[in-house]
Structure 1
């Protein structure tokens, strides 16, 4: 199967800046500007610079697709693998569990509905759902924001992740069949956490979240046998990088 376009609805990476935004914090995806026309979306271009993403350069999706990695502007329509990124930095799964970080932050549950309402009508003319990969990487903000919650973590994580998959179900029901889910990185080993006697989130919290995510991903696959569901173990991979950083270092700097 050849996966050509890549649709991203995630909460970890920063939103792609666009040319028609003319004021601070106005993106396709801004909570204050949730709607957009088909023409605005198709005319939109990825802006690549040191300030265009939270990474200070191309984010993981841009590297994965090769779309928008060059300095300057790129139309997704000109990419061999088109990237339509509806992620928003600071997003959590939903306000049922955590408040929005900023008044303009778009939670995941709103990202999916925004896509179906405004983007899908435009993209349906140039892409096909069955040849599109829909990627989801969410949970980093959620696990930090609920680290001191009085609700048992197993209950909280189970409910949050169930909401994630309910949102994914709406994407499936719109015709999309290929899904990539990324689990949590080793957030217990962030620079700040390794200096703490009692880090939050700790290893057990991260592992529990990832275990529940894997279980519900398997359930989602069983409930939708017409789909291809891939869960990438980000945690194991990055823990391996931390244990053996030499192959990933450049000029004495670890690149992850």
Structure 2
């Protein structure tokens, strides 16, 4: 199903769709990923294979993964005891490129960032766990582009935040789960999360529009994960193909806890029925959802336009 969003729009205000060329077919040979458990290929959040592995296979490119589960954009903004993008993932990347263990041609490499779930979530903005704001988080996301551009990178794909209020943990009818067992106002959490996501995505887009003209020779894509996951939630038959009834509110691996966290009732779906679910657990997308993300990202890598999500490209140089 085609969404009611433009398939190609410029990031730079002065650009037009005619000049927003994007990468050329077969130009990209390397995919470098940053982010959290939505992208980590080691500690995989979907219980199976993460989307970058699928995307690299679909697009026939080499994968260089730096995303780590639990990460935020920066621990100086939203602290968590996990490897953040700025204090861990980027330093690791720069270490490998400086010592020669990783050699990448900028023209043949695309860099992706999918971050925000932990920055906004429990023990962070939604629970008031720090003094940061959504503005700080959005600035950090855009600074990722600036830092990599300064190092020579030229092709970027920033994946915006999904509608987190639809995940089981932040839904209005949420229940005590493995991620949060304490009492809470589930409706208030859901409303707040929706506003944080929408505000953060809008801010990031505006900041990228302002930044793009200052980054000569770059191709900057804004992958509309929010639109894609909204469509998967509203039209699951287009994307889910498991053997069980299609399910966008439950999860493959769910645990309903007592509010004191002392005991839980857990269920886990196995086999082909897993592909009937949008969510793997209360927080993470399912492997079938990851396959959908991978197909769309592979389309960008191969120089094509995305039919079902908004993709914005600009070549300010």
**Does the alignment reach a TM-score above 0.5?**
yes
| SS of aligned partner of 2:220 | strand
Determine the structure 1 residue equivalent to 2:195. 204
Higher relative contact order (CA 8 A, sep 6+): 2
Determine the structure 2 residue equivalent to 1:236. 227
Determine the structure 2 residue equivalent to 1:11. 36
| Gap regions ≥5 residues in structure 2 | 1-23, 174-185, 246-275, 278-287, 290-317
Are the structure 2 counterparts of residues 14 and 89 from structure 1 closer, same or farther at C-alpha, using a change threshold of 3 Å? Answer: farther
Determine the structure 1 residue equivalent to 2:148. 171
Larger radius of gyration: 2
Q: TM-score, normalised by structure 2?
A: 0.59
Q: TM-score, normalised by structure 1?
A: 0.72
Deviations 1:31-78 (A, max 9, x none): xxxxxxxxxxxxxxxxxxxxx5221221111111118xxxxxxxxxxx
Determine the structure 2 residue equivalent to 1:94. 74
Are the structure 2 counterparts of residues 164 and 192 from structure 1 closer, same or farther at C-alpha, using a change threshold of 3 Å? Answer: closer
Determine the structure 2 residue equivalent to 1:112. 90
Determine the structure 2 residue equivalent to 1:123. 102
- In 2: Cα distance, 1:14 partner to 1:182 partner: 11
Q: CA deviation at 1:161?
A: 2.0
Aligned length: 204
Are the structure 2 counterparts of residues 240 and 80 from structure 1 closer, same or farther at C-alpha, using a change threshold of 3 Å? Answer: closer
- In 2: Cα distance, 1:173 partner to 1:60 partner: 27
Determine the structure 2 residue equivalent to 1:59. 50
| Gap regions ≥5 residues in structure 1 | 18-51, 68-78
Structure with more helix by fraction: 1
Are the structure 2 counterparts of residues 192 and 221 from structure 1 closer, same or farther at C-alpha, using a change threshold of 3 Å? Answer: same
Determine the structure 1 residue equivalent to 2:169. 192
The answer (yes or no) to whether the contact 1:130–1:175 under 8 Å persists in 2 is no
Q: CA deviation at 1:164?
A: 2.7
The answer (yes or no) to whether the contact 2:73–2:137 under 8 Å persists in 1 is yes
